[in-house]
Structures are given as structure tokens and as C-alpha cells.
Structure 1
Amino acid sequence: MSTPDDDYQSKSVETPYGRLHVRDTGGDDLPIVVMHGFPDDSRIYDRLVPLLSPRRVVAIDFSGFGKSDRGPYVTLQPGQREAELSAVLAALGIDRCLLVGHDASGAVAVNFTLNHRDAVDRLVLLNCYYGDAPSLQFPELIRLLGDPNFKPLADALMDDPKMREWILAHTQARFGYTVGDPDGVVAASVAPQWFGEDAQPDALVAIRAWTASLFPDLEIQNQRIAQGELDTLSVPVTVAFGEDDPYLNPEVARHIARQFLNATLHLIKNASHWPQWEQPEQTARVILGIDS
């Protein structure tokens, strides 16, 4: 029986922030590069990748997540994720790609595209954020980890495995997912970041570092919007959200789409925060431009 890893060749890419684990399918035509947010890893795309064949798909584990190195950084460095993406593209010889960002990596995808317009053929944003929006809500867990005023409480919760398990289950239920589903995206990709697996340690340092940068990064994104940078972007943008996400919800999707000159909006039915896992066929069609 084949496994998701059978679809990829594992590669190692050296960056200033440590060694990144990258999974590369090989294949034809313009590469599709997919990125994860917090607190998951590249496995959120495991159900989607086979449906993108024969296109080449490159899936990145950012520093501190998945099978990438666990670095010493307790704070995310300015531009770190964008630099990691640049290093991967350079190492794999990719000059131009279709770039997919989900959750926190949606902002990474937008920033990278603004800074490297010739490198992105099309930008796809899945259940993400960029700057403030009237209906934007972050999960209570993420707000807790992102607010420095609650650091002592967050430290205590994260240091207690039982509390960590409880708050993860609470957040899972809030997103509308069945707690304890062995075939769900939480079991496949999120829980390993919280508790580790086999010889791979947890990703708690990386989770805390990325969430700590959330609110400062939002301010920078607001500035780029106010300065009109998104209005100047001619790269086609596809905004595709699972419509049942109670936090990064359809109104957030509409708000993001309105920021760009050349954006299309897709709301994916019967999907919450991870449409690439829950509705991979529909998500694949959107990414490939079949549903346009």
C-alpha cells in the first residue's frame, strides 16, 4: 500500500535558519509550491498533492516544524519565512512558480510575491489573513500565544502536556472537527507539532516564535496595504477559503480579495480551516485553474 511519502522525494535545503525538509514530487510544467502555517506542517497537503499530478509540487516544512531542524530561535526573525522560501526555490532551481499559502503562510506568500513579482506566476491563498479585517478572528489559542501580556499563562499551559492536549482539543472542536479523529488533519499534521513523534521532537519553540510575531506582523501588513502596494500587484490572485471556518471566515476571504486588482474568490463548501484536506478535489481544481 502506498503512503503519502511515496508521492515525494525528500530533500534537504540549507538556510541561514537551519536545514529545511522539503518534499518534491518532480513532474511537469510550472512548479506548485505549497506552504503551511502554524501549528502544522507540509502534511496538510497530503490528500491534495496526488490530485495535482503530473504537475511538480514542492512542499516545505518551515524551520522548527515537521522534519526540519529545530533551531534555537525563540522569536521569528524579520523576513525569516520569506528568506526560507527564497532558499528553497534557489536550491531547487525554481525561477517561477505557482505559490500557495495557507493560514500564517498566506502572509508569507503575499510578502514574497510583492518582493519577487517575477518569481510568482499566480498566487493562491487558502484560509489565511493579511492585515486586519472587520470580521477577522483568531482562535483563542493563537490569541493567547500571540499576546505578550499572557505569556506567563501561555508558558504554564504549554509546559503541561495535559493542558496542551485539552486546549488543542478545544480548538479542534471550535473549528468544527471531531476530536480524536485518527484520519483527520489534526492527527496527521497538528498533533505531532504539539507532542512530537518517533524521533522527531515537538515544534513548541517554533510555534511560540511564529505566534509571538503575529500582531507585530499584522501592523506591517496594514502599512503595506495603506501604502497601496497590493493595488500595484498584477500577479493573478486566487482566494479560496473553506466556508465553514469560524475564524478565517468568508468575510475575511472577501476582504482579502478586494485588496488586489486581479483576484478571484472561491468559497469551498463542506470545508473548515483546511480545505486542502477536507475537500482536496475541489481545492485541486481551484489551484489548477479548472474552477475559475
Structure 2
Amino acid sequence: MSSEIEHRIETTKGHLQVNEYPGVGPAIVMTHGYPDDSRIYRRLLPELAGRHVVTFDFLGYGRSGREAAWPLNPGQREGELAAVIDGLALDRPVLVGHDSGGPVVINYTLSNPERVSRLVLLNTYFGESPTLGFPEFIRLLADPAFTPLADAVLADPKILGWMLNFTDRRLNRGPTDPEGVGATAILPQFYGGAGQPDSIASVRAWTAELFTDIGLQEARIAAGDLAKLDVPVVVAFGVHDPFFNPGVAKHLQSLFERAERHTFQDAAHWPQWDQPAAVAAVLTSV
């Protein structure tokens, strides 16, 4: 990978940690969801050597600031993405959305279609889908009826560790990898480490908006916003994700007029981690 340039982009809610890798072609801006950070792209970056790539941590995650007062403001994540694009003066980037980062890049593109050259959606969602599910731990955090139980889980490191391992087994095939995406990008959000505070407040703030956000996404679908979007869309999913599964991919593709679909047979929820060369080929295809 080409030399990394670190940027600190200030927003009204705090600073964003941005890593830029200069290269050719339109910038490929990659977003993460919850509860992980930009390190989910660690294995993909070498496969994109020579291309212009940008990764960043949303506020409250990874190495970005913890200054924000929660809850999230409407459109806050889209505003953070806009701050990165504007701050680096990126010209019509390719936007990559994974997990809950997918709705962010979709919403940004719906509002700024002339500023985006292509959307790539990796194991994500937008609105309801007949086969869509969410990990049990995420549903626990998202449902206000279970707030006391969520508080108790998060307050006990051992119970929290069991819950995270259970979720990792649900999302990944095979035995838990001590050097996998969970250890690399998820555990630090809950336990902190290496000078990084935990992201629990941020995780709770974003998950608390899950069902409200899905309702807003359904309204955009019903209004025909996605069908009218004149931007190329690529839906690319690891097939072994039990929650954002091939049925979700097919449904997501159907929402757009100009969308193609790819599947990664040997990948689960994080295809960029499981099959980085195949994902890179999709990202760099014309």
C-alpha cells in the first residue's frame, strides 16, 4: 500500500481520524458500521495498492473523538461522511458502505448524486427485507424495553465477553480467530486499549436509532428515491452471513434501477476481511 497520510478533520461534534492512501482513480471512501471501526479494511488495503483510498472512524469509534454529546443528531453520520469528502476535496468518490455504514452512504448519495461516482454496498441493508435479521446483541441494545438488561450485560466484563464471543460465532464461520476482525476491530470498542477509550456510549447511541432509522429508510423507498437514483450501484455480499444474507442482497439490488450483484462464496459478514482480493476486484472494476 502507498504511504499513509493521517488527517484530523474537525466537526462541530468532535474530530474525525482519517487515513488517506494516495493513488490513481477516484478516491474509494470506505465506511464501517457498529460496533467496529475502520480496521475492518486492514486486509483489503494491500489489495488496493496504487489506488486512491480513504478510511475513517465515525465519531466515537476507533481513533476519532469522543467529544460528542449523545444521542445522535438526525443526519449526523451523513454529516461526518460529508466532512471527510469536503475536507479532502474528493472529486466524485466511490463510496463503500458496510453494515450500518451502508445506509449512511446511501443517504448521502441520495442527497448528493452528482458528487458520487459509484456506490458499493457490502453486507448491509436499507429498510426492511423479508430475510433481514440483526445479531441478538444488537437487538438487545436497540430495544428500549431491554435497557436494564443491556446495562447489566455491559457492566459485567465477563458477561460482555461471553456475549461478544457468541455474536462472533454467529457472524463468522469456524472457530474464533484470536487475530480476526472481532479481536482487531470490535473488542477495542468495548474494552478500549492502546490509548483508545471504549466506544460503549457511541455504540449505544447508534444502535438506539436502529428501528427509527429503518422506518425513515422505508419512507425513502416508498417515495421512490432509490429507484430514481442515477448512480451505478454494486451490491456485494458474503453468502455465509446469517443476518445480512443473500436474500437481503437480492432485495437491496431490487430497490435500485442501476444495480448489479456479486456474491463471495467463501465469506461471511466481513467479505473485505475474508476475501480481500475478490472485494478489491469488485471495487476497482469499471
2:98 to 81, 102, 118: 102
1:266 matched to 2:262: yes
In the alignment, which residue of structure 2 is the partner of 1:222? Answer: 218
- Match of 1:156, SS? helix
The alignment yields a C-alpha RMSD, in angstroms, of 1.3
Output the CA distance in 1 between the equivalents of 2:178 and 2:155: 25
Cα contact 2:40–2:270 (8 A) shared by 1 = yes
Cα contact 1:169–1:179 (8 A) shared by 2 = no
Cα contact 1:31–1:98 (8 A) shared by 2 = yes
Output the CA distance in 2 between the equivalents of 1:163 and 1:197: 19
Cα contact 1:172–1:178 (8 A) shared by 2 = no
1:139 matched to 2:139: no
In the alignment, which residue of structure 1 is the partner of 2:63? Answer: 67
Output the CA distance in 1 between the equivalents of 2:58 and 2:200: 13
- Residue correspondence of structure 1 range 74-89 to structure 2 within 5 A: 74-89=70-85
Output the CA distance in 1 between the equivalents of 2:90 and 2:125: 26
2:31 to 19, 35, 53: 35
Residue 277 (structure 1) shift: 0.3
1:121 to 117, 120, 141: 117
1:210 matched to 2:210: no
In the alignment, which residue of structure 2 is the partner of 1:185? Answer: 181
Output the CA distance in 1 between the equivalents of 2:3 and 2:235: 26
- Match of 2:280, SS? helix
Residue 180 (structure 1) shift: 4.5
- Residue correspondence of structure 1 range 153-192 to structure 2 within 5 A: 153-178=149-174, 180-192=176-188
- Match of 1:137, SS? coil
Cα contact 1:96–1:120 (8 A) shared by 2 = yes
- Cα distance change, pair 179–199 in 1 and its aligned pair in 2 (3 A): farther
Residue 139 (structure 1) shift: 0.5
2:52 to 53, 56, 70: 56
Output the CA distance in 1 between the equivalents of 2:149 and 2:251: 33
Cα contact 1:192–1:202 (8 A) shared by 2 = yes
Q: How many matched pairs?
A: 286
Residue 77 (structure 1) shift: 1.1
Output the CA distance in 1 between the equivalents of 2:147 and 2:174: 29
Cα contact 2:169–2:176 (8 A) shared by 1 = no
Could you list the runs of 4 or more consecutive aligned residues of structure 1 that deviate by over 3 angstroms after TM superposition? 177-180
Output the CA distance in 1 between the equivalents of 2:67 and 2:111: 26
- Cα distance change, pair 141–9 in 1 and its aligned pair in 2 (3 A): same
Output the CA distance in 2 between the equivalents of 1:73 and 1:7: 34
- For 1:87, give the aligned amino acid: A
- Match of 1:252, SS? helix
In the alignment, which residue of structure 2 is the partner of 1:26? Answer: 22
Residue 74 (structure 1) shift: 2.8
- Match of 2:207, SS? helix
- For 2:284, give the aligned amino acid: L
Cα contact 2:3–2:22 (8 A) shared by 1 = no
- Match of 1:232, SS? coil
- Match of 1:218, SS? helix
In the alignment, which residue of structure 2 is the partner of 1:150? Answer: 146
Per-residue CA deviations over 1:84-107 (Å, capped at 9, x if unaligned) read 011111111113100000000100
* TM-score scaled by length of structure 1: 0.95
In the alignment, which residue of structure 2 is the partner of 1:252? Answer: 248
Output the CA distance in 2 between the equivalents of 1:282 and 1:180: 23
* Uncovered stretches (5+) of structure 2, i.e. residues with no partner: none
